[in-house]
Chain A
């Protein structure tokens, strides 16, 4: 049987009022590779160039334009034949204004093979587009060396359609979240290959803060005046120290201010599709991690705001930040009742603002056991043991989540059960950092819940 080669065309990309510039193509798969339908095989950077005519959005991607990219996926599976005209290498493959997006440009060809995976909807010779971008922590944190690289405090990807609703999920990330949402590719590719779309996935990074329920509530409810007071207090203190403040400390403090100023649950997003621009948000669902909850936080003595900072960040040499924290913050020990109360407040907050905040909460629970201990007898531990033993704390926290899941907005992502099935020592050896296999299983569970709860676009790819 003779199989004809299928050209891989860019297809149209025509947002009204803009021309689209693009870089050369950087390949994710080698020439001759067998590629799946829906698998990202290449990508480029793109930019929107204002032209005459009516626009749907005046200044789209205000703080995300520099890192706007699109990944290309064939709609059918087959063997890849790259076009030599696709890439010019160097900066011409990184900077987005050296050539225009031409709908008929052919990246390469695909040689269909027998037993190929099912096709995605749409013309076989037109590539499926997965858009993505990141909001840089600052303009200087650029990193155009790869797909969705650089230091972003928010990264996201979407597969848009002009005639179907765009479901969206927001992950508030710490270590156990990032791989689940962004995948091994770090660019959401695994998530989008698994779903039909159209859909939108976002990962917000609150470094150096950890997005516990209390932190998220405070971020959402903080007024500009309150933020201004926090910033004036912080900046005033360190400005008075002057040049002794280490540059690395300024970066820490600037990141902290960024996190204190943002309200990720309430954020909205610009979306580019083949034929237009739109504005959407907030996300339909947010995924939180119970790992962000802790028995100890600190609170500013005068201004009352909470800090939940990664312990290893505080462990870095910080001759001026450490004394500031000690002098201006008090330690707050938190019981599981406090954590439960925070979660209930979070549910009440989102329930009260259906148009402004995500209405579904998914919470990844914690592995309730650890391979590092060899306890045979609990007699030596004072009650409540959750105040001492981390496994008991994790198990009791999981019980808190079970109670919380009675609320109609809440679902548990049962990482504890998934890890127990797959093996904790192999897949989560330090109780936090997970293997790729565990991330994939957890991602599948997140997608299953989103689909079951009717969030559009998160059903299976085929």
Chain B
């Protein structure tokens, strides 16, 4: 079964996210709770305003899947709703077919991680 991941709209005013960190490699089997990626949502990107809330989120898996294709890269700005990864339930099934549904993920609000650039 082919599953896809899009950049979720976490906040009503969010239009895009910056991919801060990608944890798994393409072709890897990922278990429930696996870290997928961290991203930053800077609401000033949607509308200039003083003291824009800059929030950070981590997407973690809620089902076991194989990561088959990842199109986002670190520090890339990606629009809400853009597809950034494909997953399958077996390691070698085709990804050239329509996706069945979105992969199940949980969204966690996180603090700025030391592994990122501090600016």
Contacts and interface: CB of A to CB of B under 8 A. Distances in A.
Contact of B112 (A295, A372, A375, A391): A295
Interface in A350-405: 370, 372-377, 379-381, 387-391, 393
A186 to B, nearest CB: 14
Given A372-B55, A374-B106, A430-B43, A388 B113 contact: yes
A435 to B, nearest CB: 14
25 contacts: A175-B51, A296-B114, A315-B44, A331-B114, A370-B109, A372-B11, A372-B107, A373-B106, A376-B62, A377-B32, A377-B106, A379-B33, A380-B60, A380-B61, A381-B33, A387-B111, A388-B108, A388-B111, A389-B108, A389-B110, A390-B111, A393-B111, A430-B53, A431-B109, A433-B51
A333 B119 CA distance: 13
Interface stretch (A158-166, A254-262, A306-314, A408-416): A306-314
Contact of A388 (B33, B43, B58): B58
Contacts of A393: 111
B53 A432 contact: yes
A389 B52 contact: no
A394 B92 CA distance: 43
Given A376-B62, A377-B32, A390-B56, A296 B112 contact: yes
Contacts of B51: 175, 310, 312, 432-433
A326 B107 contact: no
Interface in B83-104: none
B6 interface: no
A322 interface: yes
Nearest to B41: A372
Interface string A231-266: 000000000000000000000000000000000000
Contacts of A388: 58, 108, 110-111, 113
Interface in A303-331: 310-312, 314-315, 322, 325-326, 331
Interface of A: 175, 294-296, 298, 310-312, 314-315, 322, 325-326, 331, 333, 370, 372-377, 379-381, 387-391, 393, 430-433
Contacts of B11: 372, 430
Given A373-B57, A430-B55, A381 B108 contact: yes
Interface residues on B, range: 20 to 34
Query: Is the contact region of chain A dominated by helix, strand, or loop, or is it mixed?
Result: loop
Interface of B: 10-11, 32-35, 42-44, 51-58, 60-62, 106-114, 118-119
Contacts of A430: 11, 43, 53, 55
A432 B109 CA distance: 13
B119 A314 contact: yes
A311 B55 contact: no
B56 to A, nearest CB: 7
Given A312-B52, A430-B55, A374 B60 contact: no
Contact of B111 (A175, A295, A312, A376): A295
Nearest to A174: B51
Most chain B CB inside 10 Å of its own CB: which residue of A381, A387, A430, A433? A430
A89 to B, nearest CB: 31
Nearest to B45: A315
A331 B117 CA distance: 9
A430 B46 CA distance: 14
A326 B111 contact: no
Nearest to B43: A430
Nearest to B52: A312
A312 B114 contact: no
B108 A315 contact: no
A370 B109 CA distance: 8
A374 B44 contact: no
